[in-house]
Amino acid sequence: MEKKIIHKHTKIVATLGPVSESVEVLEKMIKNGLNVTRFNFSHGEYEWHERVMNNVRMAAKNVGVPIAILADLQGPRVRTHMSEELEIIDGETVRICDISMDDEEIAQKFSDQKVITLDCPKIIDSIAVGNDILIEDGLMKVKIVDIMDGYAVADVIDGGVIKNHKGVNIPDARIPLPTVTKKDYDDLAFALAHDVDYIALSFVRNGQDIVDVRKHMRKILGDEVSLPKIVSKIECKEALNNLERILCATDAVMIARGDLGIEMNPARIAILEKDILEKAIRHMRPVIVATQMLASMEHNPRATRAEISDVTNAVADHADAVMLSGESSMGTYPVDTVRTMAEVATQTEISPYDDVFDAMPLTFSSEEVRIAHGTYDFARELEAQAIVIYSESGYTARLLSHFRPDQNIIVVTNNQKTYHQLALPWGVKSFMCPGEQSREKCIENAIQQAKEKGVLHTGDLVITVLGTTKTGKKLTLTGTRIA
For 331-366, letters b (16+ CB in 10 Å) and e give bebbbbbbbbbbbbbbebbeeeebeeeeebebeeee
Which of 250, 291, 312, 418 is catalytic? The answer is 291
Spatial separation of the C-alpha atoms in residues 376 and 250, rounded to whole Å: 25
pLDDT at 3: 56
> What helix, strand, coil percent values describe the chain, rounded to 5?
40, 20, 40
Give 470's pLDDT tier (boundaries 50, 70, 90).
Answer: low
Which of 8, 11, 38, 257 is catalytic? The answer is 38
pLDDT at 368: 86
Q: What is the architecture, at CATH level 2, of domain 78-169?
A: Beta Barrel (2.40)
Which of 229, 233, 285, 417 is catalytic? The answer is 233
Query: So where are the chain's domains?
Result: 11-74+178-350, 78-169, 367-482
Kindly state the DSSP code that residue 155 receives in the 8-state scheme.
Answer: E
How many CB atoms sit inside 10 A of residue 406's CB?
A: 16
**8 Å CB contact between 76 and 203:** yes
Give 363's pLDDT tier (boundaries 50, 70, 90).
Answer: confident
**8 Å CB contact between 138 and 169:** yes
CATH superfamily of 367-482: Pyruvate kinase, C-terminal domain (3.40.1380.20)
Task: Verify whether residue 233 is a known catalytic residue.
Answer: yes
Q: In this predicted model, what pLDDT tens digit does every residue of 148-207 receive, in sequence order?
A: 999 999 999 999 999 998 999 998 888 888 999 999 999 999 999 999 999 999 999 999
Q: Of 333, 235, 209, whose CA–CA distance to 289 is shortest? A: 235
CATH for 11-74+178-350? Answer: 3.20.20.60
| Res. 315: pLDDT tops 80 | yes
**Model pTM score:** 0.92
| Res. 1: pLDDT tops 80 | no
SS3 at position 411: strand
Beta strands in 89-226 (DSSP E): 93-98, 115-118, 132-135, 140-147, 152-158, 160-162, 167-169, 198-201
Q: Of 468, 451, 361, whose CA–CA distance to 408 is shortest? A: 451
